[in-house]
Structure 1
């Protein structure tokens, strides 16, 4: 009996989950064994994490359980932490699985592959800044977003109780967000949206006026991916909410209760969020695969890694520089989606001995949501030079459409549309905030 072709995908983010769904739908289990390796048990779309962190979104309603998803779409899910590759044996190395008390449940083991796709994503890059790893929070995954929300609610409760005990007390929740890209800007706006609703959920004397949010950007302006006029419009909106914005300011240290800038200013903070950059979430042992400056896997135009034809990389963990450009494809959900489609086709071509097709990135623009207050962005990207600037209701509609497209990509049209309809009902009947 001919052995099954074993395709292993490591990483269940936007690109990896879409890819295994389509592989399972195309091949099924008869002649192929499609395996997803992921350390988490559920998936949530990473661009939504700032809403999870602020409490505006209940991740339990939007997350995707890998075990039920794999049963529906014909692939296997293996819950484990990727530890490395043995290229000569064509095996993926999985770290031991441990219980909460540290006891070993499953020892280190290996999974064979005929073709391997690495979709490991990215994590925050603190650039070695002293104290950041210890004192600052990130929004890299569901767990980190939940951790921020719990700490935020605790500080809001502290301020509310202090003011209730003594109305003369002038107390605030001080939050410093480092990084003026989409994540930092969206979180800053979402915090004010959430704070405005807290008075309806037991914190009667707390509202958005009790927030002191500082947004620090090392570059000359926030939102460098957007046209200047849109970035300026976003800045005006944030400052109207009460956000203090510092540009051309570098963070040199994080301490237990403050951020220290290159100018010597010490900004007091109850919560610190680092959103200033990303690097590939690549473990130490990649068995000789080529890595770029930001710990990303270097890939060829076919999205095969530069030193191994059987290994592909997609999404934030790969470094792809389009021909004729000196800039790599940015770490965006749209790039992961496009890469997943190309690798799906190239895996089929590789099995048939056909020439693989090159990846061509199509920039459809950037959108940034300032919660319920505003949405700004540019559409079409490299198709018309990124000059189609949009704001307001149209931008908000397009922004929400990106999530709808993700849901359909992960679940298919029928179930995707049904889930979106259920989501609309939940938005009406569920509380505005998740407070636990």
Structure 2
């Protein structure tokens, strides 16, 4: 347990010279929640200056990326401007990528910012901190599979989701044209391979299958959804959703089969090429587009934070107060952190609810430190896992203790999935703005096609 009090470093302005500066790097689900919470407590009481740093100007809830990639949601209606959030809640936003950290001088170097045309907007800068919180999320772990990094698409952010969506539309456009021009010719199907059948892979495969029908109805009328588009889900483990209950795996597998998603389990990918996937058993699977959803790791730049200990997945090792053992002024949480799991020798999994609970914990812990109070360690309480299969349904699992679990599917699970996102918005906007935004989403869903068409 840590009771270390703040010792402010030299700051750049008269105001911040009197109070400590808490710099949060990464505006994902956890970082955004923490900045908003601390701004409403420590910031409002002038106990600390809160600074949020992110390479992008907007926030998008990462669990929705599969809906953006499949075209089911318009990112413009779900993104939040960091500058607007900072203005509404009283923290400061700095755009740029964290390049390195000088722990001795308490300096974080923030990279230059360029516009879409490559024009220089902001120079490289140095930002003083008293307490540095790393909430950098994760990057795709290709596990050194040959060709995977070059030919498989990751799904880490909106840019990558949009890149995939455009490639998918281009493939459908080409196939539709060939079907129109040569209706008698049996053209090979468009093959979309999703490698990794955890929650992300399963949700993406289901979302893509749900997208094909509306696309053929609106734009690609010569395509037959089940015949001309093959969605394949590939998993190395003996079953999909290997970390969840076997009953959840079996139910989800059955629903995917009903959706005409081809599920291959026990398949190890040995190589990814431009137009195929090669398996360890020597099988060749044709692939027009390959998505890699088989694992994550900490961002490479974490190695630039002066001798901070990292685990095999390049995550920052922290103790139960989410501080690095090497430096009590550096914290890490969410996907980029290796936080010890109670009752086991491993670490907590990279899940959104872990980051959310850690953000809540740090919001309280910083206030306790600022008040000179004792700080207890973080304890994770598993609230269950929801896997969405789009309009087909969802599956929810939560542990009841002593090897017992509760499993819910159907409308109740869909409601739980929607509630998780609304809970995230409530933490950022409060009740009034969340209700207005939810109403706006509902109205838009009844005033436009169910899928993005271009």
Q: Is the 8 A contact 2:311 2:317 kept in 1?
A: yes
1:371 correspondence with 2:387: no
Q: Secondary structure at the match of 1:387?
A: strand
Which residue of structure 1 lines up, in the alignment, with residue 197 of structure 2?
A: 180
1:129 correspondence with 2:145: yes
Which residue of structure 2 lines up, in the alignment, with residue 299 of structure 1?
A: 318
TM-score by length of 2: 0.92
Report the Cα offset of residue 344 of structure 1. 0.8
Which residue of structure 2 lines up, in the alignment, with residue 423 of structure 1?
A: 441
Superposition pairs for residues 194-209 of structure 1, below 5 Å? 194-209=211-226
Which residue of structure 2 lines up, in the alignment, with residue 225 of structure 1?
A: 243
Which residue of structure 2 lines up, in the alignment, with residue 44 of structure 1?
A: 60
Q: Secondary structure at the match of 1:429?
A: coil
Which residue of structure 2 lines up, in the alignment, with residue 329 of structure 1?
A: 348
Superposition pairs for residues 270-285 of structure 1, below 5 Å? 270-283=288-301, 284-285=303-304
Report the Cα offset of residue 206 of structure 1. 2.4
Superposition pairs for residues 346-357 of structure 1, below 5 Å? 346-357=365-376
> Which structure 2 residue ranges, 5 or more long, are not aligned?
1-13
Kindly tell me the number of residue pairs found equivalent between the two proteins.
435
Counterpart-to-counterpart distance in 1, 2:61 and 2:143: 25
Over the aligned positions, Cα root-mean-square deviation in angstroms equals 1.6
Counterpart-to-counterpart distance in 1, 2:364 and 2:265: 43
When residues 384 and 419 of structure 1 are mapped into structure 2, their CA distance, relative to the original with a 3 A threshold, is farther
Counterpart-to-counterpart distance in 1, 2:292 and 2:37: 34
Counterpart-to-counterpart distance in 2, 1:233 and 1:285: 44
Report the Cα offset of residue 100 of structure 1. 3.9
Report the Cα offset of residue 386 of structure 1. 5.5
Counterpart-to-counterpart distance in 1, 2:144 and 2:396: 31
TM-score by length of 1: 0.96
Deviations along 1:324-343, whole A, 9 cap, x unmatched? 21231111111111000111
Deviations along 1:282-312, whole A, 9 cap, x unmatched? 4030111111111111111111112111111
Deviations along 1:101-132, whole A, 9 cap, x unmatched? 54543332210111111100011100111111
2:81 corresponds to which of 65, 75, 78: 65
Report the Cα offset of residue 353 of structure 1. 2.7
Counterpart-to-counterpart distance in 2, 1:204 and 1:26: 55
Superposition pairs for residues 37-436 of structure 1, below 5 Å? 37-171=53-187, 172-209=189-226, 210-283=228-301, 284-379=303-398, 381=399, 385=403, 387-436=405-454
Counterpart-to-counterpart distance in 2, 1:18 and 1:159: 44
Which residue of structure 2 lines up, in the alignment, with residue 3 of structure 1?
A: 18
